Every structure is written in C-alpha cells, then in structure tokens.
Amino acid sequence: MNKTLGLALLGVLIIGIVGVPQTATTPRAAEGVLLFDNETGAEAVRLGILFDGPIIICKDDIIAFGGEAATRLDMGNRTAWIDAIVLPGGTLQVSYSGDARVHSAYWVSTAQEKNRVICRWLIEAVWNAGDLDLIPEFITADSAFHGDGLIGELPGVEGYTAFAVSTRTAFPNVRFAIEDMIAQDALVAIRASETATHTGPLMTIPATGASITSRAMIIYRFVDGMIQEGWIQTDALGMLVQIGLLPPMGPPVFGWGTPSAAIGVPGTLEENKLVASRDPSEIWNEQNLAAIDEIIADEYLGHYDMGTTIKGREAYKAYVPGTLTAFPDFHITVEELFGEGDLVVFRSTASGTHLGPLGQIPATGNAWSVSVVVIRRMADGKIVELWQLNDMLSLLTQIGLVPPLQ
C-alpha cells in the first residue's frame, strides 16, 4: 500500500527564475531574519519555504535587495509562498517570528514547478519523515483519492491521513525515492521506488519482519496550489508476495529495474503524445500488430508488472499476442493523457475476459476491469521505454486466482 505514495522530496520553494527549473536554496540565517540569495543565474519570481514548525511572516517585512518589493505572500501554518522579483545575484530578506527552522526552500518559475515542489514536500516531509501534521497544508479538505484494490477510496484529509497512519504503522521505516516527476498544467505524475520493513500490523496481517522493495505511480490534480484529487497505483501484489501472504507470481523482481541507456531526439510534446497514443489505440485495441514496427523502437525496454521485462521490438511482438490470447477482447480506455519533455503519462482502465491460457493459468471465463498507469518515453518518433503498473492484485482476484482479502 505504501507503494502508492511515491511522491517527492522536500521543499521550500522560491517560484522564481524565469526559464530555470525549480532550484533548491539554503538561506543564510541571523536572529529573526532569513536571507535567500538568488544564485540561479536568472530572474527569480517566487520563493517557497517549508518550516519545521509554526511561523509568522508579514509581507511588509520582506525586502528584495536587487529586485522589487514582494507583491504577494501566501502563508500556511508552516509554509510560505512569496511572490517577489529578485534579480540574478540579488537577495530576498525575510523577517519572521517564531522558533521554527527552514526545512527546505525552492525558487520556482511556473505554477507547474510549484506543484512539483509541493509533491516533494508531501513525499519527503510527510511520508519519509512521518510529519503527518503537514497533510492539511498540501491537500484540500474535500479532496478525493482513488486507490488500487488494496487501498480503496480515500475521502479528504481524514482519509489520506488514515492511510498514512496505517501505512507507517505497518512499515515505520518506509522510504520513497522519486524516479520521475512529470508535470503539465494542473497534473503531476510521480514514479517512485519504495523500501520498507514490515514490523507492524497491516490490516489484519501481523508483522512478519520482511523487508520489501516496491514500486508506485501517483497522479495528483492541483486546484489553486493544493492537491484536490489523486490516483494511487501500487504493486500491492508484489508487496503481499514479499511479506509471505501470497505465493510468488513471477520472477522475484519488485523494483523498476535498470533504465534504458537508449537516447535520441524526443520530439515535441504533442508529437510524443500522438505517437505514444498509438500503442494503446492501434496495437492493443485494434490489435494491429503490423503497427509495432512504426511505433516501437528496436531498442525498446518495457518494465511491466510481476517482474516482467520486455527487451527489444521483437520481444514486444511476442508479448502482445500472448496477452491477447488470454484476453481476446482486451481493451484500454484512456482516462487522462499528459506529459513533459520526452515522457507521456497515461491513466487508463484496462478490461477483458479471461478466455485463453494466461501462462500456466487456464481460462476461467471471468471478466475483469482494473486501473493502469503507464509512462512512455519517446525518442526519434518511437516508444523507446515504458513503465507500467496495473492493479494486478484486483485482476487476479477477479479471474479467481487470488481469493478476496476481505
């Protein structure tokens, strides 16, 4: 379940630097004063700060040396966002009252970068450090989170907090590392790795002492600088296998594996979206296997569920018919599509009917429908790498291979 939480690092933000990605900054501190130097090499326009305790800042006590006066201050209990132009080499002086210290801070240049920093704070400070009191700083009271078959629906701050408490009770030393973070408009996707030790009760499952490695993909939707909705996809099946509740379901590979070294020209985001969308629509839904040569790179590397790795276009050509034999009516419905740079994110629903053998599993005739998150990396007009998480626990439960956990 924790796998789901793979969101980001820490952070105090400075939304500044035009054309410069979010940049961490460490303040120089004197009594009651913080000095943030703009060492980004570009004009900074916003700063975000996360404190380790309550703090009070007044806009009139913010001074830009080498810049312009602050135009806006948004204060939370332990966070501050300051809009102020600070020229390269300039300094933003922030006077404050309280005993709290800076946990982290960032200069940022766009709303998307601000969203990314909030995701980092949520992962690093809340999940990794266990500071659950910060959750209301980042998540709206009426938010909704849609988990996989093990997590379920999490309504509002209360639901999210209860999930965090139960996760950290079962895995007190849980740590998430961000592998990729992709932001476009109001959406942020995170691909994360997780490590933990099962030293507390997990629902009705007593502690086993087992160490686990797992994967998670999370998508957050922001509204007015806070998280309003989220989708959490974890490798719940792999986690239950590692703690001994279920027998092995594939190779004992539970991490993301070594990324591909293949490089190439990524193309524009719109071009990447168009080509990446041909995989689910043409290859899978239309079962047009002839399109594989046009869409999949020769050096393709796919990181799939249950420890499956597909290396090369020819291996992909063998993989697709095997899946379609098990599920002849296999269909993917894309719910959300966005991206950044050479990465394209798909939030989808996959469905089918188990009418043929799935490996050693004979056909059951059962229909199934599960959530899926996929990230495709593009190079030279083709898909060169893919990371995928299906809700495999739900799929195997629906076809009758795994008994319901409840």
Model pLDDT, residue 137? 96
Residues 191 and 297 in one domain: no
Residues 212 and 167 in one domain: yes
Model pLDDT, residue 7? 28
Whether residue 259 lies inside any domain: the answer is no
Supply the CATH number for residue 374's domain: 3.10.450.50
Model pLDDT, residue 21? 59
Indicate if the pLDDT at residue 16 is higher than 60.
no
**What is the DSSP code string of 153-198?**
EEEHHHHHHHHHHHHHHH-TT-EEEEEEEEEETTEEEEEEEEEEE-
Supply the CATH number for residue 29's domain: 2.60.40.1780
Average pLDDT, the chain: 92
Model pLDDT, residue 250? 83
Indicate if the pLDDT at residue 71 is higher than 50.
yes
Average pLDDT of the segment spanning 334-350: 98
Euclidean distance between CA atoms 330 and 266, whole angstroms: 29
Indicate if the pLDDT at residue 357 is higher than 80.
yes
Whether residue 8 lies inside any domain: the answer is no
Model pLDDT, residue 249? 85
Model pLDDT, residue 197? 98
Indicate if the pLDDT at residue 11 is higher than 60.
no
Total-model pTM: 0.91
Euclidean distance between CA atoms 49 and 161, whole angstroms: 22
Least confident range of 11-15, 163-167, 172-176, 193-197: 11-15
Q: How far is CA 27 from CA 8, 39, 105, 120, 313, in A?
A: 21, 11, 8, 19, 50
CB-CB contact of 18 with 45 (8 Å): yes
**How many secondary structure helices (H) and strands (E) does the chain include?**
8, 20
Q: What percent of the chain lies above the pLDDT cut of 90?
A: 87
Model pLDDT, residue 13? 28
Model pLDDT, residue 22? 81
Residues 31 and 88 in one domain: yes
pLDDT bracket for residue 404 (50, 70, 90): confident
Beta strands in 16-119 (DSSP E): 23-24, 28-30, 33-37, 44-51, 62-67, 72-75, 79-95, 102-108
Residues 287 and 386 in one domain: yes
Residues 73 and 175 in one domain: no
Indicate the residue among 93, 116, 139 that finishes a domain: 116
Model pLDDT, residue 132? 97
pLDDT bracket for residue 96 (50, 70, 90): very high
Whether residue 381 lies inside any domain: the answer is yes
CB-CB contact of 20 with 86 (8 Å): no
Start-to-end Cα distance in the chain: 15
Whether residue 163 lies inside any domain: the answer is yes
- Which are the contacts of 88, defined by CB distance < 8 A and separation ≥ 6? 38, 40, 41, 42, 43
Top pLDDT among 249 and 116 is at: 116
- Residue 32, number of CB atoms within 10 A of its CB: 11
What one-character DSSP code corresponds to residue 358?
Answer: B
Tally of domains in the chain: 3
Closest CA to 62 of 93, 31, 101, 104: 93
The pair of structure tokens assigned to 275 is: 């080509």
Euclidean distance between CA atoms 88 and 12, whole angstroms: 19
Average pLDDT of the segment spanning 228-255: 94
Whether residue 405 lies inside any domain: the answer is no
Q: What percent of the chain lies above the pLDDT cut of 70?
A: 95
Whether residue 257 lies inside any domain: the answer is no
Indicate if the pLDDT at residue 276 is higher than 70.
yes
Average pLDDT of the segment spanning 59-84: 95
Euclidean distance between CA atoms 171 and 200, whole angstroms: 6
Average pLDDT of the segment spanning 241-255: 92
Per-residue pLDDT of 197-214, as tens digits, reads: 999 999 889 999 999 999
Closest CA to 238 of 322, 319, 304: 304
Residues 309 and 389 in one domain: yes
Residues 213 and 304 in one domain: no
Indicate the residue among 92, 116, 140 that finishes a domain: 116
CB-CB contact of 250 with 308 (8 Å): yes
Residues 382 and 298 in one domain: yes
Per-residue pLDDT of 23-56, as tens digits, reads: 999 999 888 899 999 999 999 999 999 999 999 9
The radius of gyration of the chain's CA atoms, rounded to the nearest angstrom, is 23
Model pLDDT, residue 405? 75
Q: How far is CA 160 from CA 31, 137, 313, in A?
A: 37, 13, 41
CB-CB contact of 214 with 234 (8 Å): yes
Model pLDDT, residue 204? 86
Domain that holds residue 65: 23-116
Indicate if the pLDDT at residue 345 is higher than 50.
yes
Residues 222 and 301 in one domain: no
Indicate if the pLDDT at residue 9 is higher than 60.
no
